[in-house]
Amino acid sequence: MDHPNSLVPQKNIDLTSPNNSNHYDVIVIGAGLTGAIVAHQLSASKSVLVIEKARGSGGRLSSKRVSGLPQGYENAPQFSSASLGCDEFSLSTQTVHTYLSRLCTDALAMTELDDGYKCAVKGRSSAWTRALIKESSLAFHERVQSVVMHDGIWTVTTECLSEQNISKTYSASHVILTTPPKQTIELVTAQRDAMPLLKGVEHSACWLSVLILEDLPAYRKAIETFNAQLSPNSMGLVHCQVFAELDTPHVGAEKARALMGLKLFADEGWSKENADADKQTIMANFVTLLAELLGVSVDQLVEQITFKHCHRWLYSRPMGSTCLPNAYANLGAGLMLAGDYFCGAISGIESAIISGCEASQQVIAENALETEASL
């Protein structure tokens, strides 16, 4: 991968020294669910660093804090944050249910069904992954630039997104990449064995928007009618979800009005075609199509919106219905890949958990063999 010439790397660091504070047993790249599972499994016995380019953990389980609400509405709990990912998911694997039952009783509510279990995230969805990585060292808002081996030690160089022209270097005997395949390909181009594996993955996307706006009966009726349709509209909108509402304004509100939180989801095909568009353009598209749906002008709708946020998720799965050979990929020399795209036959959440568990168990097994050999 090409590295920006403007980056200023840290120099004169002995990466192999046990006194080097930037050296860890394991570096996990990506703080989504797979990365959080790996970190939780390994942090009990090893020093673990989790690197994430976002400002917090969660990946597709992350949430967005809501700001800029009108006076009198600021502390309404239902509007404090908006989930950007999965609030609910299903489990079909008993081993995963047993694992989560032991691990996440405070973060998940689980209900037994005839064919598995239904799980609902309690509170902010990102709280689940934050609990999993709390025993690990964390490097948030850092984008990984390279993963290279030097003298038997993996070195990971990152760009600090919060500090201009600054990079950092970390080292470890094991590196586990839980990033989406497109980013992973850029980081492991030297590992030729990984290329056929990653290029056999299907990529998709989903654009969604979170808005808080005035709650009117006519709007509710229009949303209900739209959601009853079986196909997306011409601009890609496929579903509208009311995720929060406040019928009684708080004391001190400048204007007595009801508010609702609304999530707009774009069609997968439309999202994939526009995956590389900028957020401002996508947000303008969402506002335009919502105004059309509600039967008002764009200017009128803009005046009623008190908060808006646009987000893009990248999804990956094995081509067709065939799963990849294992729930992770071991590229040798302590470099591994993990993620939900290794188990395409089951849900993404379940796949992510299985991949994270199996990858971490492989690290533990390799270390046990190394310890045995040294005796």
Structural domain includes residue 116:
no
- CA pair distance 286, 292, nearest whole angstrom: 10
pLDDT tens sequence across 190-241: 555 565 666 667 778 889 999 999 889 999 999 998 888 766 555 567 888 8
> What CATH number is given to the structural domain containing 30?
3.50.50.60
Structural domain includes residue 254:
yes
Query: How many domains, in total, are found in the chain?
Result: 2
* 270 and 180 both lie in a single domain: no
pLDDT tens sequence across 168-177: 999 999 999 9
Q: Decide the pairing of beta strands 137-140 and 48-52.
A: parallel
* 239 and 286 both lie in a single domain: yes
What pLDDT was estimated at residue 12? 40
* 281 and 356 both lie in a single domain: no
Structural domain includes residue 150:
yes
pLDDT tens sequence across 92-135: 878 788 888 777 667 777 888 887 888 877 767 677 788 889 99
* 196 and 207 both lie in a single domain: no
Structural domain includes residue 78:
no
> What CATH number is given to the structural domain containing 260?
3.30.70
* 166 and 50 both lie in a single domain: yes
Domain that holds residue 189: 23-57+133-200+319-374
* 216 and 299 both lie in a single domain: yes
- CA pair distance 56, 39, nearest whole angstrom: 15
Last residue of some domain: 316, 345, 363? 316
Q: Are 52 and 177 in contact (CB under 8 A)?
A: no
Q: Looking at the whole model, is its pTM more than 0.85?
A: no
Structural domain includes residue 162:
yes
